[in-house]
Amino acid sequence: MKGYLSDRMGAALLMAPLLLFLALAYAWPFLGVVKWSFTLPTPGVGQYEALLTDDLVQSVFIRTLRIAAIVTLVSVAAAYAITVVWVRGTPTQRLVAEFCILVPFWISVLTRAFGWVALLSNRGLINSWLQAVGFISEPLALVRNEFGVIVGMTHFLIPFAVFPLASAMRALDDRVLLAARGLGSSRMRTFWSVFVPMTRSGIIGAAMIVFVFSLGFFVTPAILGGGRSVMVAELIYLRIFQSPDWGLGAAISVVLVLFVGALMALLFRYVRPRQLI
Amino acid sequence: MRQPGRAAEIKAIGIGKSFGSFRALDNLTLDIGRGEFVTLLGPSGSGKTTFLMILAGFVQPTEGRLFSDGTDITDRPAEQRAAGMVFQGYALFPHMSVEANIAFPLKVRKQSAAEIKRRVGEMIERVGLVGHAKKLPAQLSGGQQQRVALARALVFEPGVLLLDEPFSALDKGLRGQMQAEMKRLHQATGTTFVFVTHDQSEALALSSRVAIFNHGKLLQVGAPNEVYERPANRFVAEFLGEINMLPLKGVRSADNGATALCEDRAISLRGSAEGIDGNAILAIRPEYMSIASEATPGENGIAATATGSTYLGTATRLDLTTKQGARVSVSVPNEVAAAALGNGNSVWLTWPAEKGFLLPDGGQ
């Protein structure tokens, strides 16, 4: 019992610098934001009332949720396929999958967003090629809209969905898959009715991580959305830096943080943190 | 395809399997009859599990052919062979209830819902899991999980049931209980059972025939009493239980078997001495030897000294050393042991001629 207590003390001491840093760099300033939301421009809950009535704010919130949901669906599905190859493929397949998962981590989010602009814009690679081949006569609108934002965000978030999925797939007992086949189940059926349900915790974990990240995305929507597909984070930026309306910007921030906090609480009810690595 | 409900007859001809340079299984030929209970017995790495996996279709043999009811199934994938399989650690579907686990093989065979319900209900009753149908595997004890695994493997009435060390995770009492239950299920279903174990007493207790493996080779196949009392070689003799070995000289065929010299005393043996040239090993199970205070003329026997004893409850095990230094152990009634030890430790070791058998000198 003594050993256990001192272990916990040790763990707390080791974590202390990080907790202190988080308190000073995030919690304290955030309390300031909470204060603004109730005091600027005049004291009261006026900003929160405005949130409920402002059409622009509401449409941005709805768009953010919609984009986050689509990005989550596409990222998790794509990540699932990559992870199956990474965890269960031949050694060569594993190496290729690992390369595809890790390389995006070494390139900054800004570079990647501009990379997508180069590919998707009206005179970008995809449109020029399609026109050269003669499939289309007018360029397709692939960027400066929701489509571009979704493509860029999905590309960024796939690797984050891979890790919880990989950890769930690695924990799976191969004999259960053999058992299914031995009982007469085809490979396809074994995959859908045994493999996928048994990696459910990984799917939930991956979906939550991608969804939560999507809600706060700033750089990618700002570049690939071209101001026409504004998401919550960009709206906050606009309220604070362009149309000085600090109170409203602060209130949106508080709502976003509370929403993400609630989602995280829900996530940890279903998935242990260890399964997310 | 084979119709369900009928026990399969399996023929393996010249089966071999190499993993790289490792020879897991070598030139195995074995016939398994309809409704037999055959145990594949051997130490780890002996090839017994590899053979089971080949039977199931999870491992492809490097050479040889496999027949089921006369049909070549060597290249048939596992899901089309329809062998029931019980894995070590059970391999139940953790996300499905007991009921759903057992229904799985029927669902993939696209049986009607009513038929599935009826057969699953029957099976649950048969393996004694009534009242547990809605539980998840994690909510069951080891023995109950074992029953689910058996039920799931038998519910579609496979021609053969393959079992890979199914009891290795159970404690001793439960093991005995599950063994009895499996024997009962074998009789009730009439299906061919192929059972892998490294536990010799389990093999002897359960099977109609035992196949003993070592280093990828099938050494002997026979009824339990046959392999126990007439092992083909030293490995089989030692693997199936404790055995005493006494060096023999001057082995010669005689009218009713053979004669030889054991520690300078003439002894007689049953069974042929063919192929044995002069020297050999006499092997006898400890329970077939007994001790006396002095020699009886005409009976096999040699002098020995008791060096230690272990009280086992139902009997006492005596450790003896012969005049020429061979070590022997004998299982005798407790009072016989006490008398022998009270008598200055000098005893006369005897055995019936028909209980000893010859093994080539020093060889396998």
Q: What is the ipTM of this complex?
A: 0.78
Q: What is the mean pLDDT of chain A?
A: 88
B49 has a pLDDT exceeding 80: yes
Residues in chain A: 277
Give φ, ψ of B30 to 5 degrees.
Answer: -155, 135
Q: What is the pLDDT of residue B27?
A: 93
Q: Tens digits of per-residue pLDDT, B172-203?
A: 888 888 888 889 999 988 999 999 999 998 99
A202-228 as b/e: b if 16+ CB within 10 A = bbbbbbbbbbbbbbbbebbbbbbbbee
Task: Report percent pLDDT > 90 for chain B.
Answer: 50
Residue A121 to residue B281: CA distance in whole angstroms: 89
Residue B94 preceded by cis peptide, ω within 30: no
3-state secondary structure at position A207:
helix
Cβ A186–B85 below 8 Å, yes or no? no
Cβ B104–A176 below 8 Å, yes or no? no
Tokens of A139: 């360029």
Cβ A185–B94 below 8 Å, yes or no? no
Label residue A32 left, alpha or beta by phi (over 0 means left) and psi (-120 to 50 means alpha).
alpha
Rg (CA), chain A: 23
Average pLDDT of span B51-72? 94
Cβ A181–B78 below 8 Å, yes or no? yes
Residues in chain B: 364
The one-letter amino acid at A2: K
Residue B308 to residue B318: CA distance in whole angstroms: 6
Q: Tens digits of per-residue pLDDT, A235-273?
A: 998 888 888 888 889 999 999 999 999 988 887 877 666
Average pLDDT of span A14-21? 89
Q: Å from B57 to nearest chain A CA?
A: 8
A173: Cα separation from own chain's centroid: 29
Q: What is the pLDDT of residue B99?
A: 95
Q: Tens digits of per-residue pLDDT, B232-277?
A: 888 999 999 889 988 888 888 877 778 888 888 888 887 777 767 7
Q: Å from A180 to nearest chain B CA?
A: 8
**A211 and B128 in contact (C-beta within 8 Å)?**
no
The beta-carbon neighbor of A186 closest among B56, B79, B93 is B79
The residues of chain B that CATH labels 3.40.50.300 are 1-83+159-167+182-241
Domains of chain A: 1-39 (no CATH), 46-276 (1.10.3720.10)
The one-letter amino acid at B287: E
A143 has a pLDDT exceeding 90: no
The residue of chain B with its CA nearest to that of A199 is: B95
Q: For the structural domain made of B1-83+159-167+182-241, what CATH number should be given? A: 3.40.50.300
Q: Tens digits of per-residue pLDDT, B117-144?
A: 999 999 999 888 999 999 999 999 988 9
Chain B hits for A171, CB-CB cut-off 8 Å, are: none
**A253 and A33 in contact (C-beta within 8 Å)?**
yes
**A68 and A216 in contact (C-beta within 8 Å)?**
no
The residues of chain B that CATH labels 2.40.50.100 are 245-360
Chain A hits for B93, CB-CB cut-off 8 Å, are: 176, 179-180, 194, 198
Average pLDDT of span B341-349? 79
Tokens of B34: 């309809």
The one-letter amino acid at A143: V
pLDDT band at A136 (very low <50, low <70, confident <90, very high): confident
Is some CB atom of chain B closer than 8 A to the CB atom of A178?
A: yes
Is some CB atom of chain B closer than 8 A to the CB atom of A267?
A: no
Q: For the structural domain made of B245-360, what CATH number should be given? A: 2.40.50.100
Is some CB atom of chain B closer than 8 A to the CB atom of A188?
A: no
Average pLDDT of span B203-227? 94
Residue B201 to residue B181: CA distance in whole angstroms: 16
